C-alpha cells in the first residue's frame, strides 16, 4: 500500500482591492483564480471592492467566518499611498501573522524588481482557521506569489511540510 499523500482541494475566495478595476479589466484577480483552479482548488467566491479599509474588512470578515472557505487571497492595496489599506484592514482580523510569507515574497521579488520590493507590504496570516494572503495588485506580483510560494504551501503533498497539514489544528486552544 502506498503512503503517498493525495492532493486535497481547498475552497478559496479571491478579493480584488481596486478603485478602478472591473471584472472586464481585472488581470490580477483572474490570474489568481486561474492558477488556483489549475492547481485543483475550488474558487468559491471572487469580489472587487474599493480600496477602503471598511469595505475590505467587511468582505474578509464574512469569508473568515464562513465554514466553507479555507483560504482568502487579496490582491491590491498593499502599497504605500494614502489609499492603500489592505494590511490595515486585515491585520486586526488575524490570530497569527505568518511573517515568513512577506519576507520571502520580498526576497523573491527582489530578483525581478530590485529595490522597488521595499514598497510591498504583502502579508499573510491565519484568522479563525482560515489562511489569508494579501498580495500587491500587480499581476506579475500575483503570479510570483502563487507560483513560488502559495501553490506549494496549499498542496498537501509538499514536503517537508505545508500549510494544509496544519489546518485541522488551527483552532486548537
CATH number reported for the structural domain that contains residue 154 in this entry: 3.40.980.10
Q: Note whether residue 6 is domain-resident.
A: no
Name the H helices within 39-115: 53-65, 86-90, 99-113
110-118: average pLDDT: 94
Q: Note whether residue 2 is domain-resident.
A: no
Domains contained in the chain, number: 1
Q: Note whether residue 124 is domain-resident.
A: yes
Domain that holds residue 80: 11-166
On whether the CB atoms of residues 18 and 50 are closer than 8 A, the answer is: yes
- 116-134 residue pLDDT tens: 999 999 999 999 999 999 9
Q: Note whether residue 5 is domain-resident.
A: no
How far, in Å, CA of 46 to CA of 43, rounded?
Answer: 7
Q: Note whether residue 3 is domain-resident.
A: no
- 72-91 residue pLDDT tens: 999 999 999 999 999 999 99
Q: Note whether residue 140 is domain-resident.
A: yes
Amino acid at each position: 500500500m502506498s503512503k503517498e499523500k493525495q492532493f486535497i482541494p481547498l475552497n478559496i475566495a479571491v478579493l480584488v482591492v481596486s478603485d478602478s478595476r472591473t471584472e472586464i479589466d481585472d488581470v490580477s484577480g483572474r490570474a489568481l483564480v486561474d492558477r488556483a483552479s489549475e492547481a485543483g482548488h475550488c474558487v468559491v467566491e471572487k469580489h472587487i471592492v474599493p480600496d477602503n479599509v471598511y469595505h475590505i474588512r467587511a468582505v474578509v470578515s464574512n469569508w473568515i467566518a464562513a465554514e466553507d472557505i479555507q483560504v482568502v487571497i487579496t490582491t491590491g492595496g498593499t502599497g504605500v499611498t494614502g489609499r492603500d489599506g489592505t494590511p490595515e484592514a486585515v491585520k486586526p482580523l488575524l490570530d497569527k501573522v505568518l511573517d515568513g510569507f512577506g519576507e520571502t515574497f520580498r526576497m523573491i521579488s527582489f530578483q525581478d524588481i530590485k529595490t522597488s520590493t521595499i514598497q510591498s507590504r504583502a502579508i499573510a496570516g491565519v484568522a479563525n482557521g482560515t489562511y489569508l494572503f494579501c498580495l500587491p495588485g500587480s499581476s506579475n506580483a500575483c503570479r510570483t506569489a502563487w507560483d513560488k510560494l502559495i501553490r506549494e504551501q496549499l498542496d498537501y503533498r509538499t514536503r517537508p511540510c505545508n500549510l494544509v497539514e496544519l489546518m485541522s489544528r488551527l483552532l486548537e486552544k
